[in-house]
Amino acid sequence: MKRRDFLGLTAAAATSLSLSPARSFAEGSGSGPEMTALCDYMSAAKTRALPPEVVEQAKHHILDTLASMISGSELPPGQAAQRYIRANAAQGTSTIAGTSLTASPVEAALANGVMAHADETDDSHSPSRSHPGSSTVPAALALGEHLGIDGAHFLRAVTLGYDVGTRVVMAMGGADFSYESVLSTHSISGTFCASAAAASVAGFDARRMRWVLDYAAQQSSGFIVWRRDVDHIEKGFVFAGMPARNGVTAALLVRSDWNGVDDVFSGPDNYFLAYAPKAATGKLVEKLGERYEIAGTDIKKWTVGSPIQGPLDAVYAIRSKQAFEAGEVKRVTVRLAPSVAEVVDNRDIPDICLQHMVAVMLLDKTASFHAAHDKPRMQDAAVLKERAKVNLVRDEELAKLLPVRVAVVGIELTDGSRLSERVTAVRGTPRNPMTRDEVIDKARDLIAPVVGGEKAERLIKSVYEIEAVTNIRSLRPLLQRV
């Protein structure tokens, strides 16, 4: 299918829906136009050329996620994933990052997904309230190694994953849906991201893509009880490990000649009727082939939860304009939208606790990976002294600007000075992107302590020259420790 023909089809699909507002596509029957357009697009993805700027973004996100997997191997969720592999699945064709282990594609996707979201290092997609890299890359890597695909195919499969899973949640209502539901958008998006990527790795035609989406929908699960998790292990499973596993499972079922429902998104008892009856299903194919969601996904400068990125940027910016020491600070006021503040308000985990990380920034003048994962330091007297100065305000006015997460930080010094900064575009977001050098610097700091400096440099080089990789299996020595 030519790009012009595809765009015409998606436009026709959107037009047909707008002409019949009384009949929701989610309430229709048979196979809808979105499913046809979506699956045709998915089946062509493995050979479709991508714009150069999208290729560059895809490389950034692949490297960032591989770095998150490797660094996550040494954190408690990563250790938990390895215990599971050793006890149940320590053999297979696919790499377990940061270890000397291998496993089956399904189990490797699970373990590497948990590692990728072992903390708050991985990327995030604000419109869908998800972390697409931590499910998409592990799924594509695990099945890609199993099937021996080349680097260009791998990159295109990953890019497709970001496009599909995020659009499912955006069709459901995106951020509004996440705030109104107890369902986890992170898990929903991740499952469809991973399934689309794995299906592209497998090279399915459009009919089989339909069945993969069907099995992805059946596995779509997870709900926000993960907020009670104080060790990030369940969170790593819900956000990334489970979705990555689900995606590879869906692809392998269809690869084993399982069939399924041709259009799980329409007809009686369909997916959207179950999860989001008011879904705007035209968003499934909105600007598909024009707007690549991988280019709209954030890469975190700071290895902390997304809602903390803006406040740390603000403190860093304030200090760059006027130097001060922690002891000179009388009060810090952080303003966030209420739903955003709730996620990071006085949490038990350092990298998702706003008050703690602001205190660390005041003391250290930065927020390093090590500091963001030093849980005992949460009880350090010096940190607690600074933390007591931090006041988080839930600002309803900022809620009106969502899904853009605006942060406003005010610092009052003991001499009476008042300093402030409003962050509307966090560093690493599409409106304020990190450079290639910044992405590499972050990745180097995460990778080198685990596998060594020389491997880190070779892995970075391999990712940015991924088109020259003839078999994705060749990355294994660079992903594993000796």
333, containing H or E segment: strand 329-336
Predicted confidence at residue 230, as pLDDT, reads: 82
411, containing H or E segment: strand 407-413
- To 10 degrees, what angle do helices 52-72 and 436-451 make? 30
Q: Burial, 454: exposed, middle or buried (Cβ in 10 Å; 0-12, 13-18, 19+)?
A: exposed
Q: What does the alpha-carbon distance between residue 273 and residue 270 come to, in Å, rounded to a whole number?
A: 5
Residues 162 and 193: beta-carbon distance below 8 Å: yes
Predicted confidence at residue 141, as pLDDT, reads: 98
Q: How many CB atoms lie within 10 A of CB 88?
A: 9
List residues bridging with 390 in a β-sheet.
Answer: 332
Predicted confidence at residue 23, as pLDDT, reads: 36
Phi, psi of 418 (to 5 degrees): -125, 120
Closest of 60, 68, 53, 6 to residue 34, by C-alpha: 6
Phi, psi of 65 (to 5 degrees): -75, -40
Closest of 64, 85, 180 to residue 440, by C-alpha: 64
Q: What does the alpha-carbon distance between residue 218 and residue 271 come to, in Å, rounded to a whole number?
A: 8
Predicted confidence at residue 89, as pLDDT, reads: 79
Task: pLDDT tens for the chain, 482 residues: list them.
Answer: 444 455 454 544 444 443 333 333 333 345 789 999 999 999 999 999 999 999 999 999 999 999 999 999 999 999 999 999 999 977 899 999 999 999 999 999 999 999 999 988 999 998 999 999 999 999 999 999 999 999 999 999 999 999 999 999 999 999 899 989 999 999 999 999 999 999 999 999 999 999 999 999 999 989 999 988 888 899 999 999 999 999 999 999 999 999 999 999 999 999 999 999 999 999 999 999 999 999 999 999 998 988 999 999 999 999 999 999 999 999 999 999 999 999 999 999 898 999 999 999 999 999 988 899 899 999 999 999 999 999 999 999 999 998 788 999 999 999 999 999 999 999 999 999 999 999 999 999 899 999 999 999 999 999 999 999 999 999 999 999 86
List residues bridging with 393 in a β-sheet.
Answer: 335
pTM of the model: 0.85
The answer for 452, left when phi > 0, alpha when psi is -120 to 50, beta otherwise, is: left
Predicted confidence at residue 1, as pLDDT, reads: 46
Predicted confidence at residue 30, as pLDDT, reads: 52
